[in-house]
A and B are shown apart, each in its own frame.
Chain A
Amino acid sequence: MDDLDRLRAVFRSTLDLAPDAPDADVDGLEYRAIPQWDSLAHMSLVAAIEDEFDIMIDTDDVLDLSSFAKAVTLLDKHGVVTAG
């Protein structure tokens, strides 16, 4: 599984999405756009991303993590290769 798929898997399991939810749906997710992604789930999501990629996310980045796309950018910042 590449890093992008690992990140999608974290989103699917933490936000209780169907395991077969299409990649495109996951990639388009935004904070509070679905009922499951509320502020409580946000903290679990952050913890799950940290555990999966063994990184520590700053509070500013936690606040800025408003979409799947932002999560990808954040992983890039932490040196996790998600592109290509």
Chain B
Amino acid sequence: MSSPQAEPRVTLVTGSTRGIGHAIARTLARAGHPVVLHGRTEGPVAAAAAALAAETGAKIAAVHGDVADLAAVAAMMREVHRLHRRLDGLVVNAGIHDAGPLGMMSGPAVARLFQVNAVGATHTLQEAVRLLRRGVAPSVVLVSSVMGTKGSPGQAVYGATKAAVAGLTRAAAKELGPAGIRVNAVAPGFVRTAMLASLDDAAARERVRATPLGRLAEPEDVASVVSFLLSDSARFVTGQVIGVDGGVVL
């Protein structure tokens, strides 16, 4: 195992059928850790889990459910309990994106963004806490966004949901620190995933120009920071929201 932690660490990564979540799951699985994959519906996550198990040889399980639905999240955690009895790592990554100028975001669009990104992250953390309390050196990483820490035109609602994630992170770190649970967040910039598919070439070039490191992020750029935060190398780091954005200026 290439991980500094010899012991296998059981980690649930929400929203890991593709994109950033999948890259995080793959990084952990390659280091030999058991991973629980998660997606909204059963089919895609089962397929992703089978493929990742074949690729890495790691122990990969799959759970599913809409994170906006508390009962579904509770059922997911019961399944994790049945499989592993505990969690050493939790990555709260599942999320959606939507953009539009203020005054032009529909009520349902606003509600859904908050329901998935902010309420969903809260449900996930709350329902996982008792599994984490049983974990070894437990660590939680939530996925916020540069839109939540710095903001940008057209991103007010999405940014607000991601600022909620940063707030959740800081409070949870203080509350769960005495139980030995670390809680941090990453705030990615522009990452090449399906979420960015709506960017045309000109818009992508614009984002690259605004990024001192001169490119968009790959999901693996985020995954390596998340895997550091989950690991013993970050054992004295908690309550931080770490930008993984190439220094982007918004």
Contact = CB atoms under 8 A, between A and B. Distances in A.
A25 interface: no
B74 A58 contact: yes
Interface in B80-111: 81
Interface in A49-80: 50-51, 56-59
Contacts of B78: 56
Contacts of B193: none
B133 A59 contact: no
A51 B126 CA distance: 18
Size category of the B interface is 10 to 19
A53 to B, nearest CB: 12
A74 B133 CA distance: 21
A56 B77 contact: yes
Contacts of B127: 59
A47 interface: yes
Interface in A36-50: 43, 46-47, 50
Q: Determine the main DSSP class of B at the interface with A.
A: helix
Contacts of B130: 43, 46-47, 50, 56-57
B70 interface: yes
Contacts of A43: 130
A1 to B, nearest CB: 22
Contacts of B77: 56
Given A47-B130, A47-B134, A59-B126, 13 more contacts: A43-B130, A46-B130, A47-B133, A50-B130, A51-B134, A56-B78, A56-B130, A56-B131, A57-B130, A58-B74, A59-B70, A59-B74, A59-B127
A70 to B, nearest CB: 18
Contacts, number: 18
Output the residue of A46, A47, A59 with the most chain B CB within 10 A: A59
Interface residues of A, number: 9
Contacts of B70: 59
Ranked 3 nearest A-B pairs via Cβ: A56-B81, A58-B74, A56-B78
B111 to A, nearest CB: 22
Contacts of B134: 47, 51
Interface in B124-175: 126-127, 130-131, 133-134
A8 B226 CA distance: 42
A51 B205 CA distance: 54
Contacts of B126: 59
Nearest to B82: A56
B239 to A, nearest CB: 20
B85 to A, nearest CB: 8
Contacts of A50: 130
A56 B76 CA distance: 11
7 contacts: A47-B133, A56-B77, A56-B78, A56-B81, A56-B131, A59-B70, A59-B127
A67 B147 CA distance: 45
Output the residue of B70, B126, B130 with the most chain A CB within 10 A: B130
